[in-house]
Amino acid sequence: MQLFLFILRRLIYSIIVIIGLSLLIFLIARIVPGDPARMALGANAPQWLIEKYHEEMNLDKPIAVQYGLWLRGALRGEFGNSLYTKRKVIEDIGEFLPATVELVLFSGLIMGIGGVLLGMLSAKFNDSWVDNIIRVFSYMGVVTPSFVFAIIFMLIFGYLWPILPAMGRLSRGIAAPEPVTGMIVLDSLLKGNFPAFWNALKHMVMPAFTLALGGLSQEARITRSSIVDNISKDYVLSHQSYGIPGPSIWFRFLLKPSLIPTVSVFGLDFAVLFANAFLVEMVFNWPGLSRYGINVMLQKDLNAISAVILVLGVIFVVMNIIADIVISALDPRIRLGMAKGE
């Protein structure tokens, strides 16, 4: 019941955030200095084209009406046509989103597992050289922008010691499997097309790893400090004094409470992966939503820009809800507090 109330509160709250977000995006896109039509079509566009664009985008109506129309369209998934691809924006998103989702899922997997393992290792060998190396590594991970990692990895593993493909999702000459989910690794596995699966997986390694590093370092740092805090608590000492073996204490008693802060940061970091995908997809020529987003931004394609941002905003908000639910499942104290609205 408490969990239900908590989720309900969270949902209502998220809807408010998303509506606010849509208003924000709309306002940024409309109250731009200058005529959006001129910006999108170029300074030399003929007058009739500008007028047609105004009509299509409802730019001649009052701003509140414009927002209402835009929101109604957005709820139905109608964002108008893209000037960049000349197609419906929603079709573009349908085509490009799976590639980004696939990349982010793999990246999240690497981030979560890698971060927790490194954090555990660092805590286990607290203040030894292992710990120090991991700490330096995670500090670098936090201060390095992901596009820098992308370039360095590409140079090392793509060219200097070429063990991984550096560009795109599949090598030339390998046919993509029929789309089921649009995620090539998963699709090729579903169809039993193992050469394509292996090839797609290899293409995935570098971009996913690059994207994961920032969050991974953060997870490692947080897991480490959380375990180090908990390990000196009385309950661990009492378990030790009962003679319970070390690994058992770690996995049965220490890990669950220690992972609560990690999970909450993981939720945020996972959503941030969608943002950093903008930088990583550019370098690896990954045909995902983010690369599409950059292209439409450079083209000033307002319909597509607002759609991309709104989709990412919704994803971000949903991720946060999921993270909150998982945390509340792990930590009864938070569950109780949040249901009461604290």
**Contact 202/96 with Cβ under 8 angstroms?**
no
User: Quick check: 130 and 121 in contact, CB under 8 A?
Assistant: yes
- Number of shown-chain residues binding another protein (CB under 8 A): 50
Instruction: Round to whole Å and give the CA distance between 157 and 167.
Output: 12
**E strands of 186-303, at which residues?**
none
End-to-end CA distance of the chain: 17
Q: d(Cα 43, Cα 127) in Å, to the nearest integer?
A: 62
Q: Is 68 in the site for another protein (CB under 8 A)?
A: no
Instruction: Restricting to residues 275-314, name those near another protein by CB under 8 A.
Output: 275-276, 278-279, 282-283, 293-294, 296-298, 300, 302, 305, 309, 312-313
Tell me which long-range contacts 65-68 makes (C-beta under 8 A, separation of at least 24). Answer: 66/26, 66/30, 67/23, 67/26
Q: Which of 33, 46, 192, 341 binds another protein (CB under 8 A)?
A: 33
Shortest distance in whole angstroms from residue 275 CB to another protein: 4
CB of 21 to another protein, least distance (A): 6
Binding another protein by CB under 8 A: which of 123, 254, 316, 339? 316
Phi, psi at residue 93, to the nearest 5°?
-60, -45
**Which sign, positive or negative, has the C-alpha torsion 126, 129, 135, 141?**
negative
Quick one: 165 or 313, whose CB is closer to another protein? 313
As measured in angstroms, the least distance from the Cβ of 221 to another protein is: 12
Pick one of 5, 29, 176, 190: the residue that binds another protein (CB under 8 A): 29
**From the list 160, 161, 247, 342, which residue makes contact with another protein (rule: CB under 8 A)?**
160
The maximal CA–CA distance of the chain, rounded, in angstroms, is 84
- Binding map of another protein across residues 3-22, x = CB under 8 A, - = no contact: -------------xxx-xx-
Residues that bind another protein (CB under 8 A): 16-18, 20-21, 24-25, 28-29, 32-33, 36, 39, 139-140, 142-145, 147-148, 151-152, 154-155, 158-160, 271-272, 274-276, 278-279, 282-283, 293-294, 296-298, 300, 302, 305, 309, 312-313, 316-317
